[in-house]
Chain A
Amino acid sequence: MATTPIQNALTAIIPIKAQFVDQLRAQLASNPINPSGLDAVGTVHFARIFVFAANNASGVPSNLAAVITTYDFAFAPYIQAFVNQPAVAAFFDSFLMMVDDPTAAGLVPVTKNAAGFAAFVQKYDNTNPANSWGQWYSAYPGLSVQNILHPTPKKAPKRAAGH
């Protein structure tokens, strides 16, 4: 799926063990995303995480969780900074123990297994051409989070001449 040289999308759909679905749903309902952790990473435009409801209109199985985000630059180099945020690490350490995948528990703690965690998430990423195909749009494809938060004043450039 085409994105931009700066922005990238991730849509990971991850299976949850049946016995943990209610627990994860309750955890997501009572614990909003801690913005300070994502602010500190500085590359995340938007992030959503949810579990599909039972009997949802789309008929998606209710044991699936979705992690959806738009972020800047490459995925793997920033995953360490991402999981170094204590709130992020605590959530995903708990989350991975609920995932219905025999490799997931081996990635706990995610702070010590960032590269493996990145590969795990990308395996379930539906923007990965191996999993789906489609289109993508951005209203500001050339801007990173930091470009937006710290805009450069628009002034006419001048040529250097002897200094």
Chain B
Amino acid sequence: MSQPLATTIADPLKVHPEDFPDIQGFILHGYNMPKSRHFVLTLGQVEAALDFLSALTSGSGALSITSAERWPRGVKPVYALNIGLTARGLEALKLPASLTINQGNFSSFLAGAVAAAHTVGDIGPNDPANWVPKLNTANADRAHLLLSLYTNTAEDRDTYATQLREMFAKVIPPAGAPGSDVLEWDVDPYVFTDPVSGESFRKIHFGYTDGISNPIIDEVGLAPPRPNKLPYVAAWQFLTRDGPMTTYNLPTPLEFGQNGTFSAFRILEQDVAAFDAFLSADGRDEAAQEFLASKLCGRWRNANPVVRRPHAPGHRLPDNELTDFAYGTDTVGEPCPYSAHTRRTNPRGGPLVSVGDQVDNRIMRRADAYGPHYDGTDDGQPRGLAGHFMCAMLSNQFEFIMSQWVNSGTFPGLAAQAGIDPLLGNVPGGSSFTYWESGSPVTVGGFSRFVTTKGGLYCFIPSITAIKWMAQNGGVSNPWTVPPA
């Protein structure tokens, strides 16, 4: 007989150390483990699925879900594992009908990533009809469960992937049945080692240093924010929690709804050859290419923000200075264009569509590069970025950023030249890119889409308590179903 799950109402503003065992680890902190593999599967056998969830949280299985508990002496484990479920996945578990997920707050999650395609710019070549088969329009309703496995070595990844497959073998539909296929997607970030300093940095295939300015969730024990640095964000914006200041009604019961988050899992293919061709067109020399690349991103490839280093990259700034800038006095787009990737995805209080302090619209990125490292040769190999973009409200955070900032061409400045995020947006072919220099706009032609969406999945990342609750309470005869839109 299962024991009642003890749950108390958590602090909506801060994460406390006693919360760590209940929160999936990758929400609070990136693991910085160099190998990962994402699995997407269909739940074909309810009882087996419930046993699987139980095994993942009881320690009875070969692998367990990794919580946010601190690693002893800071030593990384050999693997980390996290789990998410789509709305159709929750439905497949046959959870009690008393479960509530507020339609007004979480309609995006309930409808799924395919339904959000138009909102987030997944149209044209990005259309879900063109996604990888497991996630595409025809099969999206059978994409139920997402497992993200992180390891330190490729060998460990294969070892633990094998054990994980054995654990979920009885969960998926039998071979040959619809949904019996499992999507497995490897992520192998490229690590660049600076020949001078010896320091190592992750880079995306476009050559930019990665992982600079994720929001930091406020935790008890963190030092207060320093002037001009990114402020800490309240826990409720990235962990589902209840309180008078939250902008949503917590899913219920509390055991299910608290301490989770939502994720937009994305597979984004990057056309690095086209990007390089755009940079090198018109006979630009290497320095000119780097200058243009800095305008596209808002950072030089060594991570220095163009706001702080407007003319040349210079030596890489100390880590704590890489986020120490704002756009407050730059109302023209010089030195940082309004369409630059960093400005589009985090306006830092700049006078665009101001929307309060804009902190409400941040997302947490846990994504890295996949595919072989690009060595300057157009080898035709698929490569890009895959992983999780997390937040408490997909509509007000992930979808807001994608629809109103990344893919909107109507920021201040010359509306027709404000542009679309060149590194993430759905840029029409034959566009031009405009930046400002010495008070005048400079227009570069031949600009087009460099990123194509190859997959998307909206998941609920439940708390450890919620996983246990689902394992104990699923399989009912009159279950919860996804409410109609």
Q: Does B associate with A?
A: yes
Neighbouring A residues of B412 by C-beta, 8 Å? 144, 146-147, 149-150, 152
B395 and A160 within 8 A (CB): no
Most chain B CB atoms below 10 A, which of A85, A111, A114, A160: A160
Q: Contact string, B436-480, partner A, CB cutoff 8 A, digits 1/0?
A: 000111111000000000000000000000000000000000000
A146 and B248 within 8 A (CB): no
Given A73-B410, A160-B444, verify A6-B282 contact (CB < 8 Å). no
B415 and A157 within 8 A (CB): no
Interface of A is mostly: loop
Which listed residue, B248, B355, B415, touches A41 by the CB 8 Å rule? Answer: B355
Which of A16-24, A45-53, A61-69, A75-83 is the interface stretch?
Answer: A75-83
Given A152-B332, A155-B441, A163-B291, verify A84-B354 contact (CB < 8 Å). no
B395 and A156 within 8 A (CB): no
A73 and B404 within 8 A (CB): yes
B353 and A42 within 8 A (CB): yes
For the side of the interface on B, what is the size category?
A: 35 or more
B247 and A159 within 8 A (CB): no
A162 and B288 within 8 A (CB): yes
User: In the assembled complex, how far is the CB of residue A140 from the closest CB belonging to chain B, in whole angstroms?
Assistant: 11
Given A40-B356, A144-B410, A146-B351, verify A158-B442 contact (CB < 8 Å). yes
A156 and B440 within 8 A (CB): yes
A115 and B403 within 8 A (CB): no
Given A72-B353, A150-B351, A163-B284, verify A115-B395 contact (CB < 8 Å). yes
Question: Does A116 reach chain B (CB closer than 8 Å)?
Answer: yes
Question: Does A35 reach chain B (CB closer than 8 Å)?
Answer: no
Q: Contact string, A81-116, partner B, CB cutoff 8 A, digits 1/0?
A: 100110000000000000000000000000111111
Question: Does B411 reach chain A (CB closer than 8 Å)?
Answer: yes
B288 and A152 within 8 A (CB): no
A112 and B441 within 8 A (CB): no
Question: Does B105 reach chain A (CB closer than 8 Å)?
Answer: yes
Question: Does A43 reach chain B (CB closer than 8 Å)?
Answer: yes
Neighbouring A residues of B399 by C-beta, 8 Å? 77
A77 and B403 within 8 A (CB): yes
A146 and B441 within 8 A (CB): no
Question: Does A142 reach chain B (CB closer than 8 Å)?
Answer: yes
Neighbouring A residues of B411 by C-beta, 8 Å? 146
The CA-CA distance from A84 to B105 in the complex, in Å, is 14
The CA-CA distance from A74 to B245 in the complex, in Å, is 24
Neighbouring A residues of B434 by C-beta, 8 Å? 157
Chain A contributes a number of interface residues (CB within 8 A of B) equal to 39
The CA-CA distance from A72 to B415 in the complex, in Å, is 13
A77 and B246 within 8 A (CB): no
Neighbouring B residues of A160 by C-beta, 8 Å? 282, 292, 442-444
B441 and A73 within 8 A (CB): no
Neighbouring B residues of A142 by C-beta, 8 Å? 415
A43 and B353 within 8 A (CB): yes
Question: Does A161 reach chain B (CB closer than 8 Å)?
Answer: yes
Given A73-B410, A115-B395, A116-B104, verify A157-B440 contact (CB < 8 Å). yes
Question: Does A143 reach chain B (CB closer than 8 Å)?
Answer: yes
The CA-CA distance from A113 to B408 in the complex, in Å, is 25
A150 and B356 within 8 A (CB): no
Q: Contact string, B409-443, partner A, CB cutoff 8 A, digits 1/0?
A: 01111110000000000000000001000011111
What are 27 of the A-B contact pairs (CB < 8 Å)? A5-B410, A40-B355, A41-B355, A42-B351, A42-B355, A72-B353, A72-B410, A74-B403, A77-B400, A77-B403, A77-B404, A80-B247, A81-B355, A84-B360, A112-B246, A112-B248, A115-B104, A116-B104, A144-B353, A146-B351, A146-B353, A150-B412, A152-B331, A157-B441, A160-B443, A162-B284, A163-B287
